[in-house]
Amino acid sequence: MCGIAGFWGASAASSEALCGLARAMGEAIQHRGPDGRGEFALADVGLALSHRRLAIIDLTEAGHQPMHAASGRWTIVFNGEIYNYLVVRAELERARGGIAWRGHSDTELLIEALDFWGVEGTLSRCDGMFAFAAWDREGGRLILARDRLGEKPLYYGSMPDGTLLFASELRALYAHPSWRGQINRDAVGMLMHYNSIPAPFSVWQGVAKLPPAHWLEVRDRKPGAPKAYWSLVDAMASGADARQQAAGAEAGWVDRFEQVLGEVVEQEMLSDVPLGAFLSGGIDSSLIVAMMQKRASQPVKTFTIGFREDAFDEARFAREVAAHLGTEHHEFYLSGDDALAVVPRIADLYDEPFSDSSQVPTWLVSHHARQHVTVALSGDAGDELFAGYTRYLVGDGFWRRASKVPYPLRRLIAAGVGMVPSRAWDSLGAALGPACPRLLRNSPGDKFARIARMLRERSPAGFYDELISHWKDPATLVPGARLAPLELAESAARAGLSDIEFMQAHDTLAYLPNDILVKVDRAAMAVSLETRAPFLDRRVLEFAWTVPESLKVREGNGKWLMRELLARHVPRSLFERPKQGFGVPLGPWLRGPLREWAESLLTPTALAESGLFDPAPIRRKWNEHLSGQAQWHYYLWDVLMFQQWHQRYRSHIG
């Protein structure tokens, strides 16, 4: 895991001067690679590459970057890990003959593979998380590429003077003298709707994120259109026949799943530095830790963060799983005061506005884990692949019933539900106590308000967008903002997806890379911690899309196949309970320890400062939230995160 940056300009400066500019870009992201740095420049081309190293595999100087191919044709800066690099290395040795390897790093394998197989031939063989920039001296071109699911970030953009800039994080672009930036109003609207800015967009006009599973070619400083080298939709479509044929069959599935996941976990445990895992006590992380402990020669180091508020705390469950598996367990607790200490740092951790509130505990658990390990495995993507989110089951059942009701009647019902104040629903839920339906016990007012909005939708796609989004129409608070829809209907039809599978696909293509993976990458890399997610491996992902829905969803619960596999290693009594997401008590915090901080960012003057917001709808929601009339904490967090980001980075506008 590292950080990369670079540029291709028209400057006729010396190689030393170009390396100096590249070094400044690299220093802006040195947290991604504190173990070393390197630069490379070609004065006659105006190109320079910068690398910050977090040494994980091959800690010797043989892993130093920028790295050059033995032939001299390619020079690369690489961020990430190729988990199957030993397999690809053996294949390359067979195909090419004797290779005088200088070390055993995956970077060296990657650049020699590029030299022999070319870009697509190499990318198609590599399983891992990565982003890289490679200069092709012979072809006079720069190649940018990103992993299949977007675990590692890569931004790029052309400046007004024609200079192409690229980097792992935006802050590196600001360090180059050619940087000029104007805020992308549409992207701010997307942040309000999705609580993140989806690829290929960024908060800056003219700066893009390279989409997952894509690469592009830059010639004469001009980036071409990104090209896909792999498609999740193709994987879903190719698995459609297998899903249909296997429907109703159970024999052998758990064994196959254990074999695939076990092989992946074993590869991802390869490290020349201390390694551990995040453990929430839920099914996903517990399964990863069980697979790790089975293969480890000593107790795996596991890390959990808990909350003082019982409704949000899972630490006790993680403790029980850790005790059963025999891990070396570490747990930490987060209070409102702790959050208040972290919140002012968020704009430094996430240099693009980002508003998933679990960013706070994610950074804290990463910070504590880094005191003990350099690499941590996680259970990310288990929900998306094996139908674990409660919203899949609730949404599917709700839509099936609601769609049978004539639309005018649905609108009438929605109006009635929406007329009841949020605090009245909350009071009713509290009065019912255990008699309140389980899915409505946490913030029932917020959930009934969302139900009212969902009833007004006409299509499954619109229904699901309402189910997962925040501000329905961002233009109401960001005038002029246009929302770019994440349209997957055609892809879903081509892949033969059910409604639940459509929701899974949507989240795998949008929510996972734009939210979950951004959250984890920035939080972990801020403390120089590498994270690895075995469920994101291509082999696990493609296997998951051959599994029929009947082996994922049973008796009102998702992740049936995962549960069956986990039960081989952990007693069901330790994990069979209602799903509890990695959330924080944000609503109470905004009325309590975070209130003064939030108010300072939500005054009419502060809201008007960027020239982007209409303060009125935001102030209305803030006042309703403070009074308890409604639960608008997620909507307000979207605005707060942008406001904080704008205060921190407004000097880079212009």
Residue 283 and residue 216 in one domain? no
Catalytic residue list contains 2 = yes
The answer to whether residue 76 is domain-embedded is yes
- For residue 395 the two structure tokens come to 């949404």
pLDDT band for position 488 (50/70/90)?
low
Q: Is 480 exposed, middle or buried (0-12, 13-18, 19+ CB in 10 A)?
A: exposed
Do 163 and 265 belong together in one domain? no
DSSP string, 9-76: ------HHHHHHHHHHHHHTTGGG-BTEEEEEEETTTTEEEEEEE---S--SGGG-SSEE-TTSSEEE
pLDDT of residue 236: 87
DSSP letter, residue 513: I
pLDDT tens readout for residues 138-196: 999 999 999 999 999 999 999 999 999 999 999 999 999 999 999 999 999 999 999 99
Residue 552 reports pLDDT greater than 60: yes
11 and 98 housed in the same domain? yes
Rounded CA separation 269/623 (Å)? 49
Q: What is the pLDDT of residues 410-421, one digit of tens each?
A: 999 988 888 888
Report whether pLDDT(578) > 80. Answer: no
Residue 412 is assigned to a structural domain of this protein: no
- Rounded average pLDDT over 255-272: 95
Question: For residue 398, is it within any domain?
Answer: no
Same domain, yes or no, for 248 and 165? Answer: no
In a domain, 381, yes or no: yes
Specify the residue for token string 């880094």.
Answer: 370
Is the C-alpha dihedral spanning 128, 132, 136, 141 positive or negative?
positive
Q: Has residue 619 been placed in a domain?
A: no
Nearest 10 degrees: Cα torsion 446, 451, 457, 463: 80
- Terminal alpha carbon distance of the chain: 32
Question: Which residues belong to the annotated binding site?
Answer: 106, 305, 378-379
Indicate whether 200 and 288 sit together in one domain: no
Tokens of 8: 């291709």
Total domains present in the chain: 2
Cite the annotated binding site for L-glutamine by residue number: 106
Q: Is 60 exceeded by the pLDDT of residue 490?
A: no
Domain termination site, one of 559, 574, 589: 574
In a domain, 559, yes or no: yes
Instruction: Tell me, yes or no, whether 27 and 160 share the same domain.
Output: yes
214-219 and 222-223 as β-strands: parallel, antiparallel, unpaired?
antiparallel
Q: Which residue has the higher pLDDT, 217 or 273?
A: 217
Same domain flag for 15 and 133: yes
- Do the domain assignments include residue 486? no
Higher-confidence position of 294 and 457: 294
| HSE-up of residue 536 (Cα within 13 Å, Cβ side) | 29
Question: pLDDT tens digits, residue range 79-105?
Answer: 999 999 999 999 999 999 878 899 889
Query: Both 246 and 330 in a single domain?
Result: yes
Per-residue pLDDT tens for 425-463? Answer: 877 777 777 777 766 766 677 778 878 888 888 887 788
**Is the domain of 184 the same as that of 44?**
yes
540 has pLDDT over 90: yes
Range of the domain at 301: 234-387+500-574
Assigned domain for 334 exists:
yes
In the prediction, which pLDDT does 604 show?
97
Task: Order across the sheet with 530-532: list the strands.
Answer: 328-334, 301-307, 275-278, 375-377, 530-532
Summarize the annotated binding site for ATP as residue ranges.
Answer: 305, 378-379
Write down which residue in 191, 207, 230 finishes a domain.
230
What CATH number is associated with residue 213?
3.60.20.10
- pLDDT of 309: 64
User: Among 230, 249, 284, where does a domain finish?
Assistant: 230
User: Counting beta carbons within 10 angstroms of the beta carbon of residue 402, is it exposed (0 to 12), middle (13 to 18) or buried (19 or more)?
Assistant: middle
Same-domain pairing of 187 and 290: no
Cis peptide before 408 (omega within 30 of 0): no
279 and 320 in a common domain: yes
Q: Which residue among the candidates 2, 19, 126, 436 is catalytic per the annotation?
A: 2
Per-residue pLDDT at 487 exceeds 70:
no
Task: Determine how many CB atoms are found less than 10 A away from the CB of residue 161.
Answer: 12
**pLDDT at residue 565 above 80?**
yes
**Residues above pLDDT 90, as percent of the chain:** 69
CATH code of the domain in which 363 resides: 3.40.50.620
Q: What's the pLDDT at 374?
A: 95
CA distance 483 to 191: 10
Is the pLDDT reported for residue 322 higher than 70?
yes
Residues 270 and 219 in one domain: no
Residue 434: the pLDDT is: 73
For residues 466-483, average pLDDT: 93
The pLDDT of residue 486: 67
